[in-house]
Amino acid sequence: RDIHGGLPMSTPPLANAELALMELLWVHGSLTARQIQDELYGESDRSQHGTVQRLLQRLEEKEMVKREKTGAANAFSACISREEYAGGQLETLAERLTGGSIAPLLSHLIDQKRLSRTELRRLRELLDGRKP
C-alpha cells in the first residue's frame, strides 16, 4: 500500500475470470473453493476444480485474496475492497490516458450523463469537504 493508505500504483488488472471470483468474495465475504466453484460453474460441474484452484493461486500471488484454514477446508476472502480495486484501476487508467489527471475522466462521465443525481451529489459533497 502507498503512503496514502490506498493500493500500490502497480496493482495488477484482473482477468475476467479473476474478477468474477473477486466479485463473489466481495458479495459473500468468505467462501471455500468448493463454494466458489459451485457459484461460478454450477454444482454439477466438478471438472472445474483445477481452474478454481489456479484462479485462487494467482489471486493469492497478486495479494488480492487470503486463505484461512476452517476445519477441513480453506476459506478465501478478499484482501482489498471493490472500491480499492476500482480506485487503483482508475488511477492506472488516468495515468495512461491523461497524465494522471482524473478531471478529464470525470468530465466525460458528467457530459455523457453517466452519473446519477445521487452520484453527482456525493461527488459534490466530497469536493466541498476537501481541505485545500
Question: What integer pLDDT is reported at residue 7 of this predicted model?
Answer: 44
For residue 41, give every residue at least 6 positions away whose Cβ sits within 8 Å of its Cβ, in sequence order, or none. Answer: 48, 51, 52
Report the pLDDT value the prediction gives residue 20, as an integer from 0 to 100.
Answer: 95
Report d(CA 118, CA 21) in Å as an integer: 29
**Could you list the pLDDT tens digit for every one of the 132 residues in the chain?**
343 344 444 578 899 999 999 999 999 999 999 999 999 988 777 788 889 999 999 999 999 999 998 888 899 999 999 999 988 888 888 888 888 888 888 888 788 877 888 988 888 888 888 755
pTM (2 d.p.): 0.74
